[in-house]
Structure 1
Amino acid sequence: MYYTKDTILFLNGKFIKAVDAHTDLYSQTLHYGFGAFEGIRAYQSLNGVKIFKAFEHFERLRKSCALVGIPFQYETEELVQIAYQLLERNNLSDSYIRPLVYCGPNMTLTQPQDVFLMMCAWEWDKYHGDKLLKLCVSSYQRPNPNSLKMEAKVTGHYVNSILATSEAKVRGYDEALMLDMNGNVAEAPGANFFLEKNGVLYTPPVGHILPGITRQTVLNICRELDIPVKERNISPEELESADSAFLCGTAAEIAGIESIDAKPFRKEWYESLGATVQEAYKCQVLEKSFSYVII
């Protein structure tokens, strides 16, 4: 589903066919999860194909590498150019872009000497589709921020996410909602969390979460539309009295939540602040005005 015999990707300075791409089985990334990546979306906007928040995503990729000590030499502007060339070579418009910084052979637990870049793209719908989601509070917590760099989008961190999502699916839910080490709401395995109560949106503060680029976009939209929004700790008990909630992330975009632990929210989704944010976000990625969006 991600590539065909004609798909082109970027690998170590060259555009080649995906079927011809190979990697070293002794890669430190493969064995220890020591690598960095991004998830980026491109849209067929009113002004042509545009990569949404391209600069911010590639800046974060570079920052992730720096935070964990992976030497990475590409400049942000160069990465943006490669991404647009990749879309053009594959004749893609609405698509998902995945850059991956991975390390060469190294069986020791030390910083790598050889570091490589792969970038690919494919057509990919919203991660959760358009349905309202049924979440459960996960038995898996987000890691202690003193154990790793929470603000780095590093490959190995996502073992925690896979465990939480897999557990939720086995239990019959669409997705998990994870708590932090202090028992407060943190985030979903691959998306940030917003809760609505009494006309105000709340979202967990940075520290125990990946501070998502889509999360920041939502905060900006709220300020532009005069939607009250606060960053603070959210206890699990507050979920029961909330009016609505949603997830946000590059892959998921804005995904409304129907219930948590089989307890539905009080508001209908179309009446919620999240639905307003969802419409404004859609307009922004398509480079359309959302001045008509009124709360």
Structure 2
Amino acid sequence: MYYNDNTVIYLDGKFVKANQASTDLYSQTLHYGYGVFEGIRAYATENGTQVFKSYEHFERLKRSAELIQIPFAYDVQALVDATDELLRRNKLTDAYVRPLVFCDPNMTLARPNNVSIMICAWEWGAYLGDKQLRLMVSSYCRPHPRSIKIEAKVCGHYVNSILATNEAKDKGYDEALLLDSDGFLAEGPGANLFFEKDGVLFTPQLGNILPGITRATVLEIAEELEMEVQQGLFKPNELFEADSAFYCGTAAEVIGIASVDETVFPKAWKDSLGKKLQDAYSKRVRETSNVLSKN
């Protein structure tokens, strides 16, 4: 589903066939989850392919590596250009792009001497679909920010997300909602949370969540639309009393939430602030100001 015999990936400065690429089974990333990654979206527009906030994503990739002391000697603009070329070579327009920085063979817990970078891409629809979600509050919480670098997008951190997602799906829900270690609302396994009450938007503050690039874009759009947004620490009961809610993330985009546990939000999605932001976000990511050259 992710690649075929003709698929090309970018690996350490070269474009190679995906089915001919290899990695070392003694990689520190494979054994310990010591690596960093990103998720980037490319969109088809009337004038060509638009990669949304590619530079910002690679800057965050660099920052994630630095936070967990993985060497990162790559030029961000060169990675942006390599992504554009990768999409051209694979003839992809609507696509999900996955950069991954992974470490060399190392069975110790010390920092690596050498790292590699891979960028791949494939066609992928909205990760959580297009229907409103039924969530459950997970029994798993987000790691304490003093136990990991919560603001870094690290491979091993996502075991927490996998456990929460599988728990929710096994119980018949679409997705999970995680609290932080102090019992405040945090985020979804792969998306940030917003909720609406009396015409005001609320979202958990930074510190115990991943600082999502889509989250930042939603905040930009909300300001442009003159929506009031409050960032802070919120308990689950404040969400249960909300009028509506939504998740946002690069893979999920903006997706409405129908319910959490057995609480159904009373406001129709079509009438919510989230719907207005969903429409505006969809338009924003398909703007043609940064369309790739057709050459």
Q: Which amino acid aligns with 2:231?
A: E
Partner Cα distance (1:270, 1:154) in 2: 35
Match of 2:66 in 1: 66
Gaps of 5+ in 2: 290-295
Q: Which amino acid aligns with 2:89?
A: R
CA RMSD in angstroms comes to: 1.0
Q: Which amino acid aligns with 1:256?
A: G
Moved more, 211-220 or 233-242: 233-242
CA shift for structure 1 position 273: 0.3
Q: Which amino acid aligns with 2:281?
A: Y
Match of 2:292 in 1: none
Percent identity at matched positions? 60
Partner Cα distance (1:272, 1:159) in 2: 33
SS for the counterpart of 1:134 is strand
Match of 2:175 in 1: 175
Match of 1:87 in 2: 87
Gaps of 5+ in 1: 290-295
CA shift for structure 1 position 45: 2.4
Partner Cα distance (2:129, 2:7) in 1: 24
Match of 1:51 in 2: 51
Matched, 1:257 2:269: no
Work out which structure has the larger RCO, using CA pairs closer than 8 Å and 6 or more positions apart in sequence. 2
Partner Cα distance (2:98, 2:239) in 1: 33
CA shift for structure 1 position 288: 7.2
Residues 123-179 of structure 1 show CA distances to partners (whole Å, capped at 9, x for unaligned) of: 000001111100000000000000011110010000000000000000100000000
Match of 1:102 in 2: 102
Q: Which amino acid aligns with 1:206?
A: L
Residues 212-252 of structure 1 show CA distances to partners (whole Å, capped at 9, x for unaligned) of: 00000000000000011110111111122100000000000
Match of 1:292 in 2: none
Alignment check: 8 A CA contact 1:213 1:249 kept? yes
TM-score (norm 2): 0.97
Runs of 4+ in 1 over 3 A off after TM superposition: none
Q: Which amino acid aligns with 1:56?
A: E
Q: Which amino acid aligns with 2:87?
A: L
CA shift for structure 1 position 263: 1.5
Aligned residues: 289
Match of 1:242 in 2: 242
Alignment check: 8 A CA contact 1:45 1:285 kept? no
Partner Cα distance (2:211, 2:231) in 1: 12
Q: Which amino acid aligns with 2:9?
A: L
SS for the counterpart of 1:24 is coil
